[in-house]
Amino acid sequence: MKLGAASKPIVGRAALWPNYWPEAHGYGIVHLGLGNFARAHLLSYTDDALAAAGGDWRVIGASLRGSTVDDLLSPQDYRYTLLEKGAETKATVIGSLHSVVSGQARIPDLLSAMSSAQCRIVSLTVTEKGYALAGHGGLDTAHPDLVHDLSEPGSPRGVIGVISAALAVRYATGLPPFTTISCDNLPDNGRKLREGVLEFTRTAYGRSLADQIAAEGAFPSTVVDRITPAPVETTSMLAFAETGYNDLAAVETEPFRQWIIEDNFSTGRPAWDTAGAILVPDIRNYERMKLWMLNGTHSLIAYCGCLRGKPFVRDVMADPDLKALVSRHLQAASAAIGQLGIDLSDYAEKLKERFSNPAIAHATAQIAMDGTQKLPQRVTAPALMALERGTDFQPFAFAIAAWIVYAERWAKGLADYGIHDPQAMIIRDILSSPTTDAHLLSAVHRSFPLVLPAQLMSGNFEVALRRSLTELR
């Protein structure tokens, strides 16, 4: 039996089912980038909010590039099982997904949904590179999607172009702008998304549209947290054991989840607060906590894991030497943050517990992706703050060195892993030839100044960086 809208709970199966009828609720959210994380996080919170307070807030998921997710979910009426794996497994059938729009050919359908009065929120999980931002923070106008979308704004294919095109239609038909929410691990993600959309609309559509978006639109920043590995062969088997139904779209995640959102919405929102989301007036310190402690330590784990042949995060945490490096990094990150309204020592202990979860197979190679995009926010930023505050900076020097050696081994053909990074060809070009530590650091600094800026190329930090690099190489 395949999971679907007509499926009912089966006696003896432990899965939880929606205590509302999903088809009685219309959509109110369009989500760009419907991957596993979005289905474990945004859709989970929305499912709980619908159960608590109702409303037309189901989610239309979209994949601009196209994926197999629609092929998996459509035959199941967009139901799927969320498996929370800890000491015990909790299975929940999610009903908050309304439908899926997948592929470039269906972008007109996507724009129609986004420009409808029903759509009040557009959310995103498209990873850092999906925003097509340049190093200075503005749009990367050399990006192929932006080149195309600026020349043909009515037929967009990139994220910023699609959002802007939908807002242009709404403007022309007298509808207010929707709220646009980034759920990606970018610092100040709402502001960056807002500035990107305003820059694009001013250029492609003119100042009137940009002025309306600036005056009436909302781009709340967020902090999102839930470890969600890619499904494995046993995922669907576990979903069947919990529900009694075949489910090829099941998702595995950890029990912990966190969503902190700036309380800034232009057209309403689901009752996410009833599901545990935290609404705050200013999110900046919470962003630092998440990026520097969780994400930065995750990057350290990823590169150490790849270098030491540890396929999963839990394997790194099972190694006493590597676990000690993790503890040291967390302590340095919390010291760089300073005082917060949250106990950072307790947060660090919870992170180590989550990283060690034996039920979660979170691949180090998955976390290691896109290092040139992730490291500036996750490791370089706290390194600079540690130097400014006079706190321990050596763990950050070690983490940067670990990434350099990880990249160098791949570039020289000495690694049993691949590198997935938008700058992969540059990495290969500058790191494929044997060189001294000094030349290696200079090459990285010249090519990736956001990862290794001038402030980290002198004094005690450079000494620590060279020492770590020598040891790791």
Q: What is the pLDDT of residue 67?
A: 81
Buried b (16+ CB within 10 A) or exposed e, 13-26: eebbbbebebeebe
Q: What is the pLDDT of residue 434?
A: 80
Q: What is the pLDDT of residue 204?
A: 97
Residue 265 has pLDDT above 90, yes or no: yes
Q: Which of 352, 193, 379, 350 lies closest to 291, judged by CA?
A: 379
Residue 325 in tokens: 């490096």
Residue-wise pLDDT tens digits, 207-250: 999 999 999 999 999 999 999 998 988 999 999 999 999 999 99
Q: DSSP assignment of 175-209, as one string? A: PPPPEEEE-SS-TTHHHHHHHHHHHHHHHHT-HHH
pLDDT averaged over the chain? 95
How far is 184 from 182, CA to CA, in rounded Å? 6
Q: What is the pLDDT of residue 185?
A: 84
Residue-wise pLDDT tens digits, 411-450: 999 999 999 999 999 999 999 998 899 999 999 999 999 9
Residue-wise pLDDT tens digits, 281-314: 989 888 899 999 999 999 999 999 999 999 999 9
Which amino acid is it at 318? A
- Beta strand 258-262 pairing with 278-280: parallel
Q: Tell me the average pLDDT across 120-126.
A: 97
Q: What is the pLDDT of residue 182?
A: 97
Residue 186 has pLDDT above 90, yes or no: no
Residue 171 has pLDDT above 90, yes or no: yes
H/E stretch holding 280: strand 278-280
Predicted confidence band of residue 94 (pLDDT cuts 50, 70, 90): very high
- Cβ atoms < 10 Å from Cβ of 339: 7
Q: Tell me the average pLDDT across 442-463.
A: 96
Whole-model pTM? 0.83
